[in-house]
Chains A and B, each alone.
Chain A
């Protein structure tokens, strides 16, 4: 009987078993406490200075530490620093490191490490570049003390160094920080509360960290990125599950402890489970935005931008993206609602009656002749995709010939860099989102700039915006800053560099046996216990 060569199911079954048994048993059962966490995205790049990707920033907070950090009252607190002193003329800043700070390879953290790290960061980050422009020199006074000398006073030195979101000025060993600023570092050695286990890293699936036993946390209670970073579990596993239905099932079954960002639509699946809690731990959320291409027709015409502004209904965007009014709300300011500079100056243009007749009249007035408008759409990014579909529908209703250019996020990122007309691969409108801390001030809000081709994609050219931004930089007190921010906003409503579409609060879901999650715009994994 020769046939059963095919039917030898037993042999095949044996092969299945055999191949599986041969695979390395990398993650053996852990007796210590392991926190299993579903992150918002897949970690791909291990250098938080080279990329602004939020997932890499979050990795950065696990592995690296920062000199200064902002707390929940928007106050700047020392983190790695023991103290800092500012000279009377506001030109010289002297920083002193805390005792006992050590990198994961055992070497102490020195002034030279801090200086090299800050200098590398200042080459990449927008805020850092501003600081870099005004820097005269960085000098190491001794192993633990270093000094910054400015060319002229700059009121935001500490704000820059305490920047909570991408790019965060993380402190790396000097040898890593000497890497070219556009080349990712190859090591993962920081002085943060967790160590990265490279051998167990499976991109697209799993990232593993273990507690850094040598870490000396501050004594203060944790508050955002400030205060004591106490690792209360021995091991953290980030398990990337792109499919939200699977993630919900995994949390329900207790296979994971914490799901960082869950789509609000799936709340009913978890609400029945008494062991699962759903909360909004991010006080600022993310801001969605509709960005025009100011270089190319037809949106180089302000009348047409006004027409769109007249019909954008933030409630629609909020519900389309978040699904539930609890998780998405209007925010009619260019600065993150819930932060000091957010204001309502001139915001009635966005909160008033949505006027389709006026919009149509404006379209007519602009001389628009039915030219094709391209809306970039990334189908793999729900926040982008929902906004794109809502905008496409709005444009259709006011008589603009809009076409969705659908692709993946990767292609959108490539295509949005094109300054060409739409016929040559350019674009007219794009959507994206920024996390709250990224647009709290004129220093950070890159889409609100008007520096023409040097601006962020969309390239609005509005010298008045730039002038008002500089005015804000020179504002000495908070009251002056607020006033400058209002003026900036009023100018923004006039030239409309972009339209904020909604403020989204993405809920987090976790098993009730992991108390201690810090409420913060960035998700931190210290202070979280596992019972």
Chain B
């Protein structure tokens, strides 16, 4: 497994991002599982990009006459209750999952970083923001995301926004704890003492040192966002049903599990495999970039 030896002393020294990248490369080479994860993820990205050229037909083409056909040479994964081609739907579903995963990771990390940096330095704001974050974190994230989507109409953008909001508190907590730690570092104290302005300190001394842990965190957020998207779609409160997402495909066919179980099987496998690949990659990166984080998760 991709796990650093936790017996080694925690790394407290700030890393600069150049070394980080080099160590990332080295660590990935050390961990075959991480490489397997990376390759799988790459394949999935290719599948998403190349979806129209992978022997697919229009995934939303309805044709009730050919409904519920079992897998065959013509319909590799069979057809669903409206006669749509399950293979094409699963392949196009890759786009939805990856889009949501990557977008949520990006948005949540960026916003969380901004909030975390500011609260780490502005004391009076800190108390308020952290109470709000505690409050948000005490609502189970699936429930929070469903409630947020119920507020707006179902669309891919809203799904991304809702999941991102549920993920932000975790990033804020991480960034804030990093900032509080880094503030104690002699070179930061020196900068403060010499009258450097706060934005400059943030930019020059704090920000570079948050990159490594944030990258790891972002990977996990990406994995968790893909799962949450699938859960939301599955419950019927997620991606609009005319967009073939894996959660939607499974939701629509769940009453047919005993009749046509394969419709549920294929998207389930794709989803699990993709999330697994992201998680493996994340584990590898965590070991490489910040062994101390390994035990904190």
Contact = CB atoms under 8 A, between A and B. Distances in A.
Q: DSSP class of A's interface residues: helix, strand, loop or mixed?
A: helix
A332 to B, nearest CB: 18
Contact of A245 (B81, B82, B236, B255): B255
Contacts of B254: 243, 245
Given A245-B258, A323-B81, A406 B62 contact: no
Contacts of A217: none
Interface in B225-252: 236-237, 240-242, 251
A135 interface: no
Interface stretch (B32-40, B63-71, B270-278): B63-71
B211 interface: no
A265 B153 contact: no
Contacts of B154: 405-407
A212 B138 CA distance: 49
Contacts of B61: 393
Interface string B158-202: 000000000000000000000000000000000000000000000
Interface in B57-79: 60-62, 64-65, 67-68
Given A320-B64, A377-B242, A389-B62, A265 B256 contact: yes
Interface stretch (A347-355, A379-387, A439-447): A379-387
Given A393-B62, A406-B154, A406-B241, A386 B82 contact: yes
A323 B258 CA distance: 16
A269 interface: yes
Contacts of A315: 64
A263 B242 CA distance: 22
A248 B236 contact: no
A391 to B, nearest CB: 9
Contacts of B240: 404-406
Contacts of B132: none
A265 B68 contact: yes
A316 B236 contact: no
Contacts of A244: 255
Contacts of B237: 408
A268 interface: yes
A263 B256 CA distance: 10
B49 interface: no
A377 B65 CA distance: 22
B239 to A, nearest CB: 9
A404 B62 CA distance: 14
A389 B242 CA distance: 7
Contacts of A317: 64
A210 interface: no
A392 interface: yes
A390 interface: yes
Nearest to B149: A407
B60 A269 contact: no
Interface string A384-428: 011001101100100000001111100100000000000000000
B257 interface: yes
A81 interface: no
B242 A392 contact: yes
Nearest to B60: A393
Contacts, number: 77
A379 B255 contact: no
B258 A248 contact: yes
Contacts of A386: 81-82
A127 B257 CA distance: 44
A389 B82 contact: yes
Nearest to B65: A319
A266 interface: yes
Contact of A265 (B64, B81, B236): B81
Interface in A258-278: 263, 265-266, 268-269
B26 interface: no
Contacts of B81: 265, 320, 323, 386
Q: Which of B62, B64, B154 has the most CB of A within 10 A?
A: B64
Contact of B259 (A268, A316, A379): A268
A319 B153 CA distance: 29
B255 A390 contact: no
A104 B255 CA distance: 40
B82 A406 contact: no
B153 A269 contact: no
Given A390-B62, A404-B241, A406-B241, A320 B82 contact: yes
Nearest to A410: B150
A319 B65 CA distance: 7
A385 B60 contact: no
Contact of A392 (B60, B64, B257): B60
Contacts of A396: 60
B236 A408 contact: yes
Given A265-B256, A405-B153, A406-B154, 12 more contacts: A243-B254, A316-B65, A320-B64, A320-B81, A377-B241, A385-B241, A389-B82, A396-B60, A404-B240, A404-B241, A405-B240, A406-B242
27 contacts: A245-B256, A245-B258, A248-B258, A266-B255, A266-B256, A266-B258, A266-B259, A269-B259, A319-B67, A320-B82, A379-B236, A379-B251, A389-B60, A389-B62, A392-B242, A393-B60, A404-B241, A405-B153, A405-B154, A405-B240, A406-B154, A406-B240, A406-B241, A406-B242, A407-B154, A408-B236, A411-B153
